[in-house]
Amino acid sequence: MSLIKKISLDYMAIKHDQNFDNLSERFRKNIYDSPKGQIRLNILWRDLLEQIPEIETGGLSILDVGAGQGNFALQLAKKNNQLTLCDLSNNMLLDAQTLFSENKLEKDARFIHAPVQELSEHIAEQYDVVLFHAVLEWLAEPEQALKQLLKFIKPGGYLSLMFYSRTGLIYQNLTRGNFNNILNNSLSGEGKSLTPTNPQDPDDVYRWLKGLKLNTVLKSGVRVFYDGISRERRKQINEEELLELEKRFSRIEPYCSLARYIHVLCQKQDVGFID
Ligand SMILES: C[S@@+](CC[C@H](N)C(=O)[O-])C[C@H]1O[C@@H](n2cnc3c(N)ncnc32)[C@H](O)[C@@H]1O
């Protein structure tokens, strides 16, 4: 079979967005009950704080699309920012609601059970910051979803976009000796796997952002090297040192571009509405 045919078959296989109703437990265990979650939260917080210091003093309106179990949203809500969380998965959203109520912040936040494609039916306002973290790579039509988000960002407001990088995935497969995955072009996860169904080529994402006139103000790699550490060694490493080094190398090339995820913080031009 020719490579082009294989690639188009790969694409055709992604028919729908991944609802996390049946993945919530595995997701929690794999990400937020492990240093992976801490790396994610630390890099995101550092990046946002650097560009938008008001997130610490509060008062910002923030929309978290595909918010999942609400881990990062909670961190922002604790600083008196006004959070709206939405997700396609009811189970994930219920977990987020529980987390907020355990922290006595449920009444200050809004929870919307809807996919990004139907958000306009629920939301009329624009936000200071829109978060779209680890969602793009689970969508059948990621570029369309990005376009749909634009109307929810205030002019001059921010989009914090974190996506699973195809480049990072290829590099990890190569260095682990998983050559078949590369040779067969089978880079998409399936069924109950936490490997995303649609890993994103960073160049595609940067091109879409440019087309939407979203200016990139900073870029970081998330999990630049952690996944390459053996399970045995992981048990011995010091988490503070891990976070310090992940942060340090997250902004340095070529490490940044080889990371599992890329975080791009973009600012919407102050020129009014683009649809
Ligand atoms: C990997 S989780 C990320 C959760 C959270 N943003 C985080 O970083 O912890 C992806 C989430 O996107 C949600 N999702 C998938 N397709 C969606 C869509 N079309 N609209 C809204 N959420 C979607 C899933 O249900 C899941 O909760």
Cα dist from 150 to 15, 98, 121, whole Å: 24, 29, 15
Per-residue pLDDT band for 7 (boundaries 50, 70, 90) equals very low
Is the pLDDT reported for residue 10 higher than 80? no
Ligand 1 contact, 20 CB (< 6 A): yes
pLDDT tens digits along 11-46: 445 679 999 999 999 999 999 999 999 999 999 999
pLDDT of residue 271: 63
Contact 83, 130 (CB under 8 A): no
End-to-end CA separation in angstroms for the chain:
40
pLDDT tens digits along 123-155: 999 999 999 999 999 999 999 999 999 999 999
pLDDT tens digits along 154-213: 999 999 999 999 999 999 989 988 888 888 887 887 666 788 999 999 999 999 999 999
Ligand 1 contact, 129 CB (< 6 A): no
- Average per-residue pLDDT for the chain: 92
Ligand 1, residue 145: give the atom nearest the CA: 19
Q: Alpha helices, DSSP H only, in 13-119?
A: 24-27, 35-51, 54-57, 71-77, 90-102
Question: Where are any strands of DSSP class E within the chain?
Answer: 61-65, 82-87, 110-113, 127-133, 153-164, 214-222, 261-268
Ligand 1 contact, 92 CB (< 6 A): yes
**Residue 63 tokens, joined:** 């929309």
pLDDT tens digits along 75-118: 999 999 999 999 999 999 999 999 999 999 999 899 999 999 99
Query: What is the value of pTM for the model shown?
Result: 0.92
Mutate to test the pocket of ligand 1, among 135, 163, 200, 260 (most ligand atoms within 8 A of CB): 135
